[in-house]
């Protein structure tokens, strides 16, 4: 049984939104638990609905079902596991590997590889599964942290929510940028016409990306980008918004045949869920990224 008190910052928000943030889970998971009758307002018999309004000070109880075996089939997919203990694992994901099964990618995903390589996984939400705390696009390479139990999952999700988890990227951007560093503060939401795309829109959620230029080449820059928020396609959308899209981005910047978007999750810093020790990991860009950088006249020694 999970006991959660609605904090002042969630007063007036939907119950599913508030509980998802407090529990470190997705809204879909909380909505599913509400639908299963596993969420209660303490000392109140009224049935909970996802759209109910949360009030500061209310206490909600979530009866976590006993995890059932995953319906996904583990697959022996090669994975670069940089670190692992009983709580977390750090993965260096290659470009081209999808994180979750979805339409067109039901097999051969990171999730199925994790089910093969890691046996003690998070079970919150009713199904034993890898604790995917954050995601990377299929064609983005780099670091991901995986939670191996529910407590670690909640801790890491909370750090992402309160922005104490640091995620830094390397990106090759098109064009000669003016300032050597800057901040892009522009809300991101679904494109009003092309729903598979994201866009800067007044109706979007707040999104902030900081960047520093590490190298300048002819008509391109190597950027160090730091996420202050975690919206879908955030760096890709923000750089395209200011006129310097990620090189070879097929959605936001114009694809190059046989290439992939030049974006790499380079550094990850967070507090360990058990004990709070600061953990920092780095993964240098893979060879395809460095080859593209060299081809532009850049130096592949990246500090």
**DSSP readout, 107-149?**
SS-HHHHHHHH--S---TTSB---EE-S---TT-EEEEEEESS
Q: With 0-12 CB in 10 A as exposed, 13-18 as middle and 19+ as buried, what is 279?
A: middle
Q: pLDDT at position 125, please?
A: 45
Strand partners, 142: 93, 265
Residues 181, 130, single domain; the answer is: no
Residues 132, 172, single domain; the answer is: no
Which range has the top average pLDDT, 96-110, 167-181, 253-267?
A: 167-181
16 C-beta neighbours (distance < 10 Å), count: 25
Pick the catalytic residue from 16, 85, 137, 300.
137
Annotation says 137 is catalytic:
yes
Question: What CATH number corresponds to the domain at position 120?
Answer: 3.30.2350.10
Q: pLDDT at position 69, please?
A: 54
What mean pLDDT do residues 238-249 have?
Answer: 96
pLDDT at 161 over 50: yes
Structure confidence by residue, pLDDT tens digits, 267-284: 999 999 999 999 999 999
Task: Report yes or no on 246 lying in a domain.
Answer: yes
What mean pLDDT do residues 188-201 have?
Answer: 88
Q: In angstroms, rounded to a whole number, what is the distance separating the alpha carbons of residues 284 and 119? A: 28
Residues 39, 91, single domain; the answer is: no
Tell me the chain's radius of gyration from C-alpha atoms. Answer: 20
The number of folded domains in the chain is: 3
Q: pLDDT at position 149, please?
A: 84
Residues 46, 137, single domain; the answer is: no
Task: Report yes or no on 89 lying in a domain.
Answer: yes
Residues 109, 207, single domain; the answer is: no
Q: How many helices (H) and strands (E) does the chain have?
A: 6, 15
Q: In angstroms, rounded to a whole number, what is the distance separating the alpha carbons of residues 217 and 172? A: 10
Strand partners, 267: 168, 282
What mean pLDDT do residues 2-9 have?
Answer: 88
Q: In angstroms, rounded to a whole number, what is the distance separating the alpha carbons of residues 73 and 78? A: 15
Task: Report yes or no on 72 lying in a domain.
Answer: no
Residues 150, 178, single domain; the answer is: no
Question: What CATH number corresponds to the domain at position 9?
Answer: 3.10.290.10
Task: Report yes or no on 73 lying in a domain.
Answer: no
Instruction: Choose among 184, 102, 101, 88: nearest CA to 143.
Output: 88
Q: pLDDT at position 66, please?
A: 65
Structure confidence by residue, pLDDT tens digits, 106-154: 788 898 898 888 876 655 444 545 678 888 999 999 999 999 888 888 8
Residues 156, 176, single domain; the answer is: no
Residues 267, 248, single domain; the answer is: yes
Residue 124: domain span: 81-161
Which of residues 130 and 227 earns the better pLDDT score? 227
Residue with tokens 């070879």: 248
Structure confidence by residue, pLDDT tens digits, 35-62: 888 898 988 878 889 999 999 999 999 8
Q: pLDDT at position 64, please?
A: 75
- Quote the mean pLDDT of the chain: 88
Residue with tokens 């780095």: 282
Q: In angstroms, rounded to a whole number, what is the distance separating the alpha carbons of residues 282 and 84? A: 15
Name the token pair of 95.
């470009």
Task: Report yes or no on 45 lying in a domain.
Answer: yes
Q: How does DSSP classify residue 65?
A: P
What mean pLDDT do residues 15-27 have?
Answer: 84
């Amino acid at each position: 049984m999970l006991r959660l008190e609605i904090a002042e910052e969630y007063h007036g928000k939907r119950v599913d939104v508030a509980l998802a943030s407090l529990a470190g889970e997705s809204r879909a998971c909380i909505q599913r638990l509400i639908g299963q009758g596993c969420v209660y307002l303490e000392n109140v018999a009224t049935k909970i609905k996802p759209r109910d309004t949360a009030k500061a000070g209310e206490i909600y109880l979530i009866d976590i079902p006993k995890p059932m075996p995953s319906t996904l089939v583990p697959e022996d997919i090669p994975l670069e596991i940089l670190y692992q203990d009983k709580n977390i694992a750090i993965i260096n994901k290659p470009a081209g590997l999808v994180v979750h099964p979805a339409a067109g990618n039901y097999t051969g995903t990171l999730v199925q590889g994790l089910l093969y390589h890691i046996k003690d996984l998070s079970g919150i939400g009713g199904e034993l599964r890898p604790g995917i705390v954050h995601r990377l696009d299929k064609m983005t390479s780099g670091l991901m942290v995986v939670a191996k139990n529910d407590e670690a999952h909640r801790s890491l999700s909370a750090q992402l929510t309160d922005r104490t988890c640091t995620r830094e990227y390397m990106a090759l951007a098109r064009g000669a940028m003016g300032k050597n560093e800057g901040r892009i503060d522009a809300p991101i939401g679904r494109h009003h016409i092309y729903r598979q795309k994201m866009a800067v829109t007044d109706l979007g959620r707040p999104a902030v990306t900081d960047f520093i230029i590490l190298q300048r080449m002819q008509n391109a820059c190597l950027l160090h980008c730091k996420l202050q928020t975690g919206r879908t396609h955030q760096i890709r959308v923000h750089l395209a918004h200011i006129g310097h899209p990620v090189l070879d981005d097929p959605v936001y910047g114009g694809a190059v045949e046989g290439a992939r978007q030049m974006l790499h999750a380079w550094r990850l810093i967070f507090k360990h869920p058990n004990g709070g020790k600061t953990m920092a990991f780095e993964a240098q860009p893979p060879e395809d990224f460095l080859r593209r950088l060299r081809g532009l006249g850049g130096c592949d020694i990246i500090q």
